Amino acid sequence: MGDWTRRIPFKVDISGIIQIMGSALYSRPDAAVRELVQNSHDAVMRRRQTELGYQGRIDIQQFPDEGIIEFRDDGYGLSADDAEQYLGTLGIGLTGLLKGEHPSSALPKGDQQDLIGMFGIGLFSAFMLAERMIVESRRVDCDEAIRWDAEGGTDIELSSWKREHPGTTVRLVLKPHFRRFAEVDESIENVLKEYTDFLTIPIHLNGSAARVNVIHATWFDPTPEPEAIELELASYFDETPLDVIPVQINRPAISGALYVSPQRTPGFADEAVVTATLRRMVISRRLRGLLPDWASFLRGVLELKECSPTASREDLVRDENFAAAALALESHLFDHLEQIAEQEPARLQAILSWHRYTFAGSALTETRLRSLLRRAYQFPTSQGLLTFDQILERSDANPIFELEADQVVWYNSDRRQEGWINSLFADHEAPCVHALRSFEESLLASMVADSGERAELRFASPGSPGFAAEILHLDDMQDASPEWADFFGDTEAIVRVAAFDENQPVMAFLNERHELMKTFEELKKGGVVPAGFQRLIDRHFEQGEQASNEVLLNRNHRLVARAMEQKTNSPLASVLRLLVVNALRTAGASLPSTALTQQQGDLDWIADCLWGQKS
């Protein structure tokens, strides 16, 4: 056989496609209810555009005995041609053409923007629930009505029909295992509440005078009352907003409202969850990825006019319009928060303290958030709660001691030292920040780094430059000699000597990193350390700062002075070591077991010297 070429057309297996539409495109069978309501909505909207004073309504009627459910509207209706062209053509709907979504559309894109449909496939979702679908319709400008009758995949029967008023009735003869949609009110009510609450067209179930979709959705109005938004959000989401953020963005067009949830989210790995609507039809109640990661405490409803739904209308397409909406929302949120930082700082502080961990954690990577937090996030300090800007203002470095830094920010990270550090800083203009909660130390470090090269963060401990001179007013501090350092070795503390208040022999300073390391070692002894925990610890120590407790011996104290004049094997040296161990333990340090054994040895040695060796 020679070479050959043949042009073949793409082929479509209609019944196969309909089968897929009915089983795999939508994640839930009740999506068909939404699609049919949406078609009625569009028909009513079209008629509203042509007839002044016409309101329109949608009726859903269940016939439990027959296993039938009907969707009725008094909207624009269909002519015989419309029905032939659009009802049975997969992929083309008049709605999409009217909106200019389809390539063959004659209309400029942008007209008819109140209509929801666009793909020309939604009607077929009915075959998820139904084995047969009958559409009866009369177009507003036609005298004759039509009847369109189809079973999934077979030929469609189109015939003339009688109908008094314009509008459309879609009748579904349900598959046996979906008969509940004809029998149970709630099965329909729940779907309607989930998707259609915000539609402006009233929907009535089984002839009831009350509409099923009742939400006013003030937040979609062009100039809504803030109080009304707050009340409606509270009733819709069933929680009290801590702060309401109305959203009216023109480009890209987004409207709605967000609010700060009073629920503390478990961690900042969580995402904000918003209800997204398109032409007021709910697309998703858990839309992710739209709000910035740090805004996980936000909830709300947003109409995203320029975003596109996926074909199943269960999510939004992550395209450039979605990205633009996300960007605009982030900027809107910042503008809002920055505005309340200016106008109502107390309110912002209340929000920050409620969602402290989320804000502080996220501000580590978000510079704009961090600069907002500088003005609003309150750190506990030796002078009470202060924002970073207030801390920096009070932390001017003393030019006599500091050549390299304009500001020195002191911090303590160990809760047990809070009172002790406060007493040391009591007569200082500079506060000491107690960075006690997780992230606060890193947040503080990032804020100091943001303040320029001439701002420094220092640990409030004698090992830090300037601490002894500036804070303790000690200008003679020295390291203990190697012999003495070795003598105190088992305490694992760095020992220094200086002259201070003669009644206080020893000062002890805890180092939180050291203490953490000890806890970690204990854990290790007890068994395997979980990998995640190990990584956390490693990261914590990566910052590479010293990790030792510190002790200052007072050379003004009689006993210390005498002891240090002698050798380390003198009984007085052992007394001194007992004082050091005691000071560390009083401060809350965890000491190695060798130091505790040594304490017993020291006591025995002192007793031997006083009273002679035990016989």
Ligand X SMILES: Nc1ncnc2c1ncn2[C@@H]1O[C@H](COP(=O)(O)OP(=O)(O)OP(=O)(O)O)[C@@H](O)[C@H]1O
Q: Enumerate binding residues for ligand X (CB under 6 A).
A: 35, 38-40, 43, 73, 75-78, 86-87, 93-96, 117-123, 168
Strands 203-205 vs 254-260: parallel, antiparallel or unpaired: unpaired
Question: Least Å distance between CB 80 and ligand X?
Answer: 13
The residue among 482, 477, 480 whose CA lies nearest residue 580 is 480
CA 548 to each of CA 196, 515, 525, 551: distance values in angstroms, whole numbers, following the listed order: 63, 8, 21, 10
Least distance (Å) between residue 180 CB and ligand X: 23
Q: What is the DSSP string of 109-137?
A: EEEETT----SS-GGGGHHHHEEEEEEEE
Cβ neighbors of 459 (< 8 A, separation 6 or more) are 410, 411, 412, 413, 511, 545, 546
Q: In what order do the strands lie in the sheet with 58-63?
A: 157-161, 145-151, 130-138, 167-174, 68-73, 58-63, 203-205
Quote the least distance from Cβ 101 to ligand X, whole Å. 8
* Between 43 and 579, CB nearer to ligand X: 43
**Which residues have C-beta within 8 Å of that of residue 178, sequence separation ≥ 6?**
29, 128, 129, 130
Q: Which is nearer to ligand X, 78 or 572 (CB)?
A: 78
- Tell me the closest approach of the beta carbon of residue 175 to ligand X, in angstroms: 19
CB of 199 to ligand X, least distance (A): 14
- Partners of 194 in beta bridges: none
Determine the 3-state secondary structure of 319 from DSSP. coil
Q: How far apart are CA 304 and CA 295, in angstroms?
A: 18
Q: How far is the CB of 89 from ligand X (least distance, A)?
A: 8
Q: Which is nearer to ligand X, 69 or 421 (CB)?
A: 69
274 DSSP 8-state letter: E
- Of 156 and 469, nearer to ligand X (C-beta) is 156
The CB-of-125 to ligand X minimum distance in angstroms stands at 8
Nearer to ligand X, 75 or 252 (CB): 75
* 8 A C-beta contact, residue 447 and residue 374: yes
Binning the chain into helix, strand and coil, the percentages to the nearest 5 are 40, 20, 40
Cα–Cα distance for residue pair 341/347, rounded to 1 Å? 8
Q: Which is nearer to ligand X, 40 or 358 (CB)?
A: 40
Which among 547, 594, 554 is positioned nearest to 414, based on CA atoms? 547
Q: How far apart are CA 394 and CA 526, in angstroms?
A: 46
Nearer to ligand X, 239 or 314 (CB): 314
Q: Between residues 33 and 397, which has the closer beta carbon with respect to ligand X?
A: 33
Shortest distance, CB of residue 32 to ligand X, whole angstroms?
10
- Give the C-alpha separation, 320 to 329, whole Å: 14
How far apart CA 39 and CA 168 sit, in angstroms, is 10
C-alpha–C-alpha distance, residues 442 and 435, integer Å = 9
81 or 483, CB closer to ligand X?
81
CA distances from 193 to 277, 401, 403 (A): 13, 69, 68
CB of 24 to ligand X, least distance (A): 16
Locus of tokens 């309150």: 378
Nearer to ligand X, 54 or 401 (CB): 54
- Distance (Å, whole) CA 114 – CA 127: 26
Q: Which is nearer to ligand X, 118 or 471 (CB)?
A: 118
Cβ closest to ligand X, residue 168 vs residue 413: 168
Query: Residue 260, SS3?
Result: strand
Q: How far apart are CA 233 and CA 247, in angstroms?
A: 13
Q: Which residues contact 392 (CB under 8 A, 6 or more apart)?
A: 407, 409, 451, 455
Tell me how far, at minimum, the Cβ of 39 lies from ligand X, in Å: 3
Least separation in angstroms between CB 370 and ligand X: 43
d(CA 116, CA 281) in angstroms, rounded, equals 8
Closest CB to ligand X among residues 78, 333: 78
Least CB distance from residue 179 to ligand X, whole Å? 23
